[in-house]
């Protein structure tokens, strides 16, 4: 390991990132709370401000991927579709196999300048999580409970609010609903067999109702579906901890632009269309496993400097008073003060490990648990 790699793996560096992210995130959340005063006066101004405040938080995670770890992402796509990326609203369907696939989706949005306004279909519990969840609440993210009778109305209302959103956005959705594991895959294919659907080798069976209601709610507002299939070279298994340690990964992302008018409006036909899409995605993954490449022309959209500049701004603003505080604590010579400092470091360490742990694949959905093996109605 070289000197830079050794430095990036040190806990002190991780603590700095954690501190800047938490402190800046809480400041942003506070400012977002104050912007509520604008909502009854000028709703679109409220949205534009919160779009940029959201970027202040989410771009810090993208900065870790693109600038700290130096992860490369090659986009394979149609050169005729490429100029439209970032110039239109789009539903982004991304496979859900890796711990950092959500980061790769955010990186795609950042490369094309729509990260601040981009949306996800997220679990309702996340709305109560400080920083990210609160930030999502103020940017009108669409939350669901995964209970269809309840979600049918709440998701529809959330999508209706986005029809006059003033900024360009990607609406990212993982139709599989949970990350791929072998255990979940076995259960998913049992469901596929029971429904008479073709088996998938590299994906779980997509959950069609969330996708169908998204298409229905955003029709005439969103121009296209971007079908994105992600994989990593040399059988790399990327993790958020690896990114935090500065490990460089090599991603390939196949992006197909499908005009939204090609997606059926009828619910059953839309579900059949999505199942066919995932069979095609499975074939693309199989091709990648055999040949190491996707169809389409490889392109590398340039990194934008704003994610790095945003982090440097917050770091310069927050680290100086933090360092002065630490120096004053250590120089005081008090045994109680030093013990408290060590305790804070320990708690911070556990906090960092916990935040990383919640992204680990084996701590995801209980899709493959015994009590979830009942046949799903989708």
pLDDT digits (tens, 9 = 90+) for 41-73: 999 999 999 999 999 999 999 999 999 999 999
Is the pLDDT at 1 greater than 80? The verdict is no
Continuous H helices in the chain: 3-8, 11-34, 43-63, 101-111, 132-138, 148-161, 182-195, 208-218, 240-244, 267-291, 306-331, 335-357
pLDDT digits (tens, 9 = 90+) for 4-33: 788 888 877 888 888 899 899 999 999 999
SS3 192: helix
Helix (H) or strand (E) holding 76: strand 72-77
How far from the centroid of its chain's Cα atoms is residue 215's Cα? 20
pLDDT for residue 369: 44
pLDDT for residue 362: 42
pLDDT for residue 361: 39
The residue with greater pLDDT, 143 or 356, is 143
How many residues would you count in the chain? 378
pLDDT for residue 373: 43
Is the pLDDT at 336 greater than 90? The verdict is no
CA angle, residues 237, 239, 241, in degrees to nearest 5: 140
pTM for the model stands at 0.89
Task: State mean pLDDT over 217-230.
Answer: 96
Is the pLDDT at 80 greater than 60? The verdict is yes
pLDDT class of 354 with cuts at 50, 70, 90:
low
- Domains with residue ranges and CATH for the chain: 3-306 (3.40.1130)
Cβ neighbours of residue 187 under 8 Å, at least 6 residues apart?
A: 367, 368, 372, 373
pLDDT for residue 352: 55
Pairwise CA distance, residues 33 & 40, whole Å: 14
> What is the residue-averaged pLDDT of the chain?
88
Task: State mean pLDDT over 250-259.
Answer: 97
pLDDT for residue 305: 96
Q: What are phi and psi of 94, to 5 degrees?
A: -120, 135
pLDDT for residue 337: 67
pLDDT class of 148 with cuts at 50, 70, 90:
confident
Rg (CA), the chain: 22
Q: Write the burial class of residue 160 (CB in 10 Å: 0-12 exposed, 13-18 middle, 19+ buried).
A: exposed
pLDDT digits (tens, 9 = 90+) for 281-301: 999 999 999 999 999 999 999
Task: State mean pLDDT over 186-213.
Answer: 93
Is the pLDDT at 363 greater than 80? The verdict is no
pLDDT for residue 371: 40
The residue with greater pLDDT, 262 or 154, is 262
pLDDT for residue 7: 83
Task: State mean pLDDT over 350-359.
Answer: 54
pLDDT class of 254 with cuts at 50, 70, 90:
very high
Helix (H) or strand (E) holding 114: none
């Amino acid at each position: 390991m070289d000197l830079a790699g050794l430095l990036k793996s040190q806990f002190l560096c991780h603590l700095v990132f954690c501190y800047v992210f938490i402190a800046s995130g809480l400041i942003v959340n506070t400012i977002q709370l104050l912007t509520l005063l604008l909502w009854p006066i000028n709703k679109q101004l409220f949205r534009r401000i919160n779009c940029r405040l959201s970027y202040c938080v989410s771009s810090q995670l993208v900065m870790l991927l693109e600038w700290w770890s130096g992860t490369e992402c090659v986009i394979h796509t149609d050169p005729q579709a490429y100029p439209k990326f970032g110039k239109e609203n789009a539903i982004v369907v991304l496979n859900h196999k890796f711990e950092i696939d959500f980061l790769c989706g955010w990186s795609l949005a950042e490369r094309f300048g729509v990260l601040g306004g981009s949306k996800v279909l997220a679990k309702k519990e996340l709305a109560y999580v400080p920083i990210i969840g609160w930030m999502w609440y103020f940017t009108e993210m669409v939350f669901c409970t995964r209970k269809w009778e309840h979600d049918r109305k709440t998701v529809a209302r959330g999508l209706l609010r986005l029809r006059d959103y003033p900024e360009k956005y990607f609406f990212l959705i993982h139709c599989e609903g949970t990350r791929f594991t072998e255990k979940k895959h076995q259960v998913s294919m049992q469901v596929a067999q029971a429904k008479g659907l073709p088996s998938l080798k590299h994906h779980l069976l997509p959950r069609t109702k969330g996708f169908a209601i998204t298409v229905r709610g955003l029709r005439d507002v969103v121009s296209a579906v971007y079908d994105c299939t992600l994989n990593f070279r040399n059988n790399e298994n990327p993790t958020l901890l690896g990114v935090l340690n500065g490990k460089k990964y090599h991603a390939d992302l196949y992006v197909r632009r499908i005009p939204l008018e090609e997606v059926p409006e009828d619910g059953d036909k839309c579900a059949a269309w999505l199942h066919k899409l995932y069979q095609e995605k499975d074939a693309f993954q199989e091709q990648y496993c055999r040949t190491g490449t996707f169809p389409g022309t490889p392109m590398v959209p340039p990194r934008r400097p704003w994610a790095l500049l945003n982090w440097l701004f917050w770091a310069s603003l927050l680290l100086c008073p933090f360092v002065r505080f630490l120096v004053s604590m250590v120089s005081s010579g008090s045994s109680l003060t030093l013990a408290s400092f060590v305790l804070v470091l320990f708690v911070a360490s556990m906090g960092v490990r916990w935040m990383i742990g919640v992204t680990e694949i084996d701590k995801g959905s209980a899709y493959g648990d015994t009590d979830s093996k009942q046949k799903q109605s989708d």
